[in-house]
Chains A and B, each alone.
Chain A
Amino acid sequence: MQVLEILGGILTLLGSLFLLLASIGIVRMPDTYNRMQTGTKATTLGSLLFFIGIGLAHPQMWGKITALIIFILITNPLSSHVLARALHYTGVSPILKKKRDMHTESRDDLRSDILEYEAQQHAESDIQSSGTHSDPGVSEDFIADAAAAENRKAADGKSGSRKKPASTAGGSTS
């Protein structure tokens, strides 16, 4: 009995360490996609270890804790997937736009890409604050924005064509 309690305490401590790592990753990661990745997987593992540790210390709670574990295992990746899909369709671009070969290129290229992304973010915020579009250095960004707008328009057309039969069906019934 005592051994089970100590084992449950160790598992609970391990789970809370995973929760702490997840929150540090949410603060430290440079991009929304990275933040979502570290904030979902690490919290799933950490909360599962936490629940299993509490369940080992109290064996009479084991049924409801199993239901809670199954619920977390189903809903947490599902909500992360829905959030990533919404981010992708609203045109949020990840921090590395090109596909890179990580085995041949060094870490300095990655660092320069991150610095370039942050400079671009600062430039976009300056444009939004000042309202002038006369900077010649951001023409590529305008091309990328046009491509993103086209993609969004295509997605809207698809959803509209998908929504149209429902509206006609509603009109016929009314």
Chain B
Amino acid sequence: MADILFAAAAGIGLLAFVISFFRIIAGPEFSDRIVALDAMTIISLSGIVFLTHALERIIYLDIALVYGLVSFLGVIAAARYMERGL
């Protein structure tokens, strides 16, 4: 019962990842692509946490933490580039 629920959650998360990738391809502006990239990193962060559950390895949570830090710094760098250049 619980395995079916977790598998459905992983499938819906993968669908959300694919749908938000459409905005990166078709976004008319640079800012739209950055917004979609921010959402995609959060969704893939949830995917890494799901891998922690599926493979029973707690060390993947550290990878998720570092990945979230890197995505946060990426969004900050992109916003600063949009505002006044690098």
Contact = CB atoms under 8 A, between A and B. Distances in A.
Contacts of A43: 38-39, 42-43
A51 B84 CA distance: 36
A40 B32 contact: no
Given A12-B9, A27-B23, A68 B79 contact: no
B49 A54 contact: yes
Contacts of A16: 8-10, 12-13, 16, 46
User: What range describes how many residues of B lie at the interface?
Assistant: 35 or more
A17 B16 CA distance: 9
Contacts of B13: 16, 19-20, 50
A23 B65 contact: no
Nearest to B3: A9
Interface of A: 2, 5-6, 8-10, 12-13, 15-17, 19-20, 22-24, 26-27, 32, 35-36, 39-40, 43-44, 46-47, 50-51, 53-54, 57-58, 60-61, 64-65, 67-68, 71-72, 75-76, 78-80, 82-83, 85-87, 89-90, 92, 159
Given A23-B43, A26-B19, 4 more contacts: A9-B3, A13-B12, A19-B43, A23-B15
